[in-house]
């Protein structure tokens, strides 16, 4: 019987990517996936620490692992990811039943630990490797993550990520192009390039191997078989015209940009150390709309940053109203250990944060619903993912704008088909496959 593993993943796409690599590495060691924690010899958590809620969600899951470890002390419990990195060796003092802990920079050490003679508790917290170098077990056959860089050199005053992922290091372009070619040969149609700040890609590379993010996009677009390219996240400070133009020029690069706003008030942005102003951000949006008029725009917004006044918050509402995002992730500010903003006076009371959040969500959803109506009556290319989650007699896929499309038709996962859109909500589109539409007509 092979040993069996179970991985629970919290957090962002980079963690989803890292977990696919963890699973690929474990399978190359001869482990097999277990259907539940109770059936696993190795129980892993790939953690996130971006907000307090992320910490508590993970700690709630740990209870079951503790109980299972008590039942069978041979079981190995491992904790990786950003939360582990942020507390380091403290993991073992707080949770004595944990056997191994590792940060995002030393995932590969897990293999060393598991194959060692004795399993005494160990922690690995150096920043030394790319998880992208490990074998992957992809969750979705036709979609692949590509880690183009790790770490972040920004110093956003609210953010824990620079301390959990280290300084920014880019992978060489030739390696990335080869990885994308392998993915395409393996049936992947859509790649998503990942980094904390993708458009600062390459600045740390030696001069003779250095290319810009826009050049990297062009090289990946040229890989045969790749039909869609996405990336996340760009930083507005580094969003240059060449990247925006690439969306109009490169056939595979999708009409969607996730451009984190964080706040619509220049004063708050300054205290956040975002290094752009409201005007500069709106100027980027105007440039996008000029070159790629139909581009979907999504964003991240934080409400209740320390010192945020009613007037500051209204400026955020104004930007959300003016831009008309296709969607937005909205967050209540959460003080994080070791960050500058957590030490600021005038923290905003919780009830006020919640009230502002509700007002923001109203604007975001209304504008997203309005924006989505532009798709009704159009025929969009959809990458088929499988059966619809709400109605298994229908299919589900995504448009190039990153909209979920539920539709009637016959198609296999991984196919790109034309779907005529008949209805739209703020979240999803409804339609019918064109062939079906013309057959019925
Ligand atoms: N590197 C990416 C993602 C950062 S984390 C980027 O810079 O875009 C994803 C989002 O979480 C951020 O964009 C921000 O909106 C939110 N976030 C980060 N720290 C936070 C905190 N302390 N409280 C609330 N939201 C936070
Ligand atoms: Fe955090 Fe800012 Fe870096 Fe994004 S750019 S990971 S928000 S420090
Ligand atoms: Fe969370 Fe780390 Fe991602 S803190 S959001 S898993 S970079």
DSSP string, 43-93: EEEEE--SSHHHHHHHHHHHHHHHHHHHH-TT-EEEEEEHHHHHHTTHHHH
Q: What is the pLDDT of residues 383-433, one digit of tens each?
A: 999 999 889 999 999 999 999 999 999 999 999 999 999 999 999 999 999
Residues 272-303 as b or e (16 or more Cβ within 10 Å = b): bebebebeebbebbeebeeebeebbbbbebbb
Query: What is the position in ligand 1's atom list of the atom closest to the CA of 196?
Result: 1
For residue 118, is pLDDT > 80? Answer: no
In this structure, the answer to whether residues 89 and 191 fall within a common structural domain is no
Nearest listed ligand to the Cα of residue 19: 3
From 81, 104, 124, the end of a domain falls on: 124
For residue 421, give its domain range.
Answer: 376-433
Q: What is the pLDDT of residues 127-167, one digit of tens each?
A: 998 999 999 999 999 999 999 999 999 999 999 999 999 99
- Residue 1: band (very low, low, confident or very high) from pLDDT cuts 50, 70, 90: confident
Measured in degrees and rounded to the nearest 5, phi and psi for residue 62 equal -60, -30
From 70, 99, 124, the end of a domain falls on: 124
In this structure, the answer to whether residues 206 and 303 fall within a common structural domain is yes
Distance 143 CA to ligand 1 centre (A): 24
How many CA atoms lie less than 13 Å away from 33 in the CB half-sphere? 11
pLDDT at 129: 87
Which residue's CA is the nearest one to ligand 2's atom 1? 159
Instruction: Give percent above pLDDT 70 in the chain.
Output: 99
Average pLDDT, the chain: 96
In this structure, the answer to whether residues 209 and 343 fall within a common structural domain is yes
Q: What is the pLDDT of residues 245-261, one digit of tens each?
A: 999 999 999 999 999 99
Nearest listed ligand to the Cα of residue 340: 1
Distance 106 CA to ligand 2 centre (A): 21
Q: Write the CATH number for 260.
A: 3.80.30.20
In this structure, the answer to whether residues 118 and 51 fall within a common structural domain is yes
Q: Mean pLDDT throughout 67-95?
A: 96
440 in any annotated domain: no
Ligand 3, residues 8, 10, 13, 14: which to mutate, most atoms within 8 A of Cβ? Answer: 14
Q: What is the pLDDT of residues 40-75, one digit of tens each?
A: 999 999 999 999 999 999 999 999 999 999 999 999
* Closest C-alpha among 76, 71, 146 to residue 110: 76
Q: Residue 248 and residue 217: Cα distance in Å, rounded?
A: 12
Q: Write the CATH number for 12.
A: 3.40.50.12160
**Cβ–Cβ contacts within 10 Å for residue 264, how many?**
23
In this structure, the answer to whether residues 289 and 405 fall within a common structural domain is no
In this structure, the answer to whether residues 297 and 312 fall within a common structural domain is yes
Nearest listed ligand to the Cα of residue 276: 2
Q: What is the pLDDT of residues 303-329, one digit of tens each?
A: 999 999 999 999 999 999 999 999 999
In this structure, the answer to whether residues 398 and 321 fall within a common structural domain is no
For residue 117, is pLDDT > 50? Answer: yes
Binding pocket residue ranges, ligand 1, CB within 6 Å: 50-51, 158-159, 161, 196, 233, 235, 260, 262, 300, 302, 331, 333-334, 336
Distance 78 CA to ligand 3 centre (A): 17
In this structure, the answer to whether residues 179 and 84 fall within a common structural domain is no
How many domains does the chain contain in total? 3
Ligand 3 pocket residue status of 339, Cβ below 6 Å: no
In this structure, the answer to whether residues 291 and 244 fall within a common structural domain is yes
In this structure, the answer to whether residues 62 and 182 fall within a common structural domain is no
Ligand 3 pocket residue status of 315, Cβ below 6 Å: no
Query: What is the position in ligand 1's atom list of the atom closest to the CA of 301?
Result: 15
Q: How many residues would you count in the chain?
A: 441
20 in any annotated domain: yes
**Cβ–Cβ contacts within 10 Å for residue 237, how many?**
16
Q: Write the CATH number for 399.
A: 2.40.50.140
For residue 206, is pLDDT > 80? Answer: yes
Which residue's CA is the nearest one to ligand 3's atom 7? 161
Ligand 3 pocket residue status of 48, Cβ below 6 Å: yes
Q: Residue 103 and residue 180: Cα distance in Å, rounded?
A: 26
438 in any annotated domain: no
Ligand 3 pocket residue status of 150, Cβ below 6 Å: no
Ligand 3 pocket residue status of 14, Cβ below 6 Å: yes
Ligand 3 pocket residue status of 152, Cβ below 6 Å: no
From 98, 124, 150, the end of a domain falls on: 124
441 in any annotated domain: no
Binding pocket residue ranges, ligand 2, CB within 6 Å: 152, 154, 156, 159, 161-162, 196-197, 235
Angle at 328 between CA 293 and CA 418, to 5 degrees: 50
419 in any annotated domain: yes
**What is the distance, to the nearest Å, from the Cα of residue 125 to the centroid of all Cα atoms in its chain?**
22
Which residue's CA is the nearest one to ligand 1's atom 8? 233
146 in any annotated domain: yes
pLDDT at 436: 59
In this structure, the answer to whether residues 204 and 285 fall within a common structural domain is yes
Query: What is the position in ligand 1's atom list of the atom closest to the CA of 262?
Result: 15
pLDDT at 437: 52
Lowest-pLDDT choice from 58-67, 266-275, 368-377, 432-441:
432-441
pLDDT at 441: 41
In this structure, the answer to whether residues 392 and 350 fall within a common structural domain is no
pLDDT at 440: 45
For residue 35, is pLDDT > 90? Answer: yes
């Amino acid at each position: 019987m092979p040993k069996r593993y179970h991985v629970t993943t919290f957090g962002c796409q980079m963690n989803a990517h890292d977990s696919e690599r963890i699973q690929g590495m474990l399978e190359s060691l001869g482990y097999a996936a277990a259907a539940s924690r109770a059936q696993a010899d190795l129980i892993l958590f790939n953690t996130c620490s971006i907000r307090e809620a992320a910490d508590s969600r993970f700690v709630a899951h740990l209870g079951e692992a503790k109980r299972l470890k008590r039942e069978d002390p041979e079981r190995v419990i491992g904790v990786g990811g950003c939360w582990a990195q942020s507390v380091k060796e403290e993991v073992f003092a707080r949770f004595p039943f944990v056997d191994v802990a590792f940060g995002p920079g030393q995932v590969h050490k897990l293999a060393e630990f598991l194959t060692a003679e004795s399993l005494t508790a160990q922690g690995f917290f150096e920043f030394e490797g790319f998880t992208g170098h490990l074998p992957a077990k992809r969750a979705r056959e036709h979609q692949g993550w590509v880690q183009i860089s790790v770490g972040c050199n920004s110093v956003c005053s609210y953010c824990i990520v620079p301390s959990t992922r280290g300084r920014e290091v880019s992978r060489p372009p030739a390696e990335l192009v080869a990885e994308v070619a392998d993915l395409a040969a393996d049936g992947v149609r859509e790649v998503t390039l990942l980094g904390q700040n993708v458009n600062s890609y390459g600045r740390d590379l030696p001069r003779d191997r250095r290319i810009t993010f826009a050049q990297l996009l062009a090289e990946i677009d040229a890989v045969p078989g790749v039909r869609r390219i996405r990336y996340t996240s760009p930083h507005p400070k580094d969003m240059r015209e060449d990247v925006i133009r690439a969306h109009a020029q490169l056939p595979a690069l999708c009409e969607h940009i996730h451009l984190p706003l964080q706040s619509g008030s220049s004063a708050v942005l300054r205290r956040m150390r975002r290094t752009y102003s409201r005007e500069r951000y709106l100027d980027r949006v105007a440039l996008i709309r000029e070159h790629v008029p139909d581009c979907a725009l999504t964003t991240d917004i934080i409400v209740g940053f320390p010192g945020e006044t009613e007037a500051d918050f209204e400026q955020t509402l104004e930007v959300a109203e003016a831009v008309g995002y296709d969607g937005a992730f909205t967050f209540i500010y959460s003080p994080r250990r070791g960050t500058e903003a957590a030490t600021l006076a005038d923290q905003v009371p919780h009830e006020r944060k919640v009230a502002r959040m509700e007002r923001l969500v109203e604007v975001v959803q209304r504008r997203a619903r309005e924006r989505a109506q532009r798709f009704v009556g159009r025929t969009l290319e959809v990458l088929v993912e499988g059966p619809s989650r709400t109605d298994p007699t229908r299919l589900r896929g995504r448009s190039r704008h990153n909209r979920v499309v539920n539709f009637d038709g016959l198609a296999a996962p991984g196919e790109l088909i034309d779907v005529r859109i008949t209805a739209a909500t703020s979240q999803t589109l409804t339609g019918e496959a064109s062939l079906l539409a013309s057959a019925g007509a």
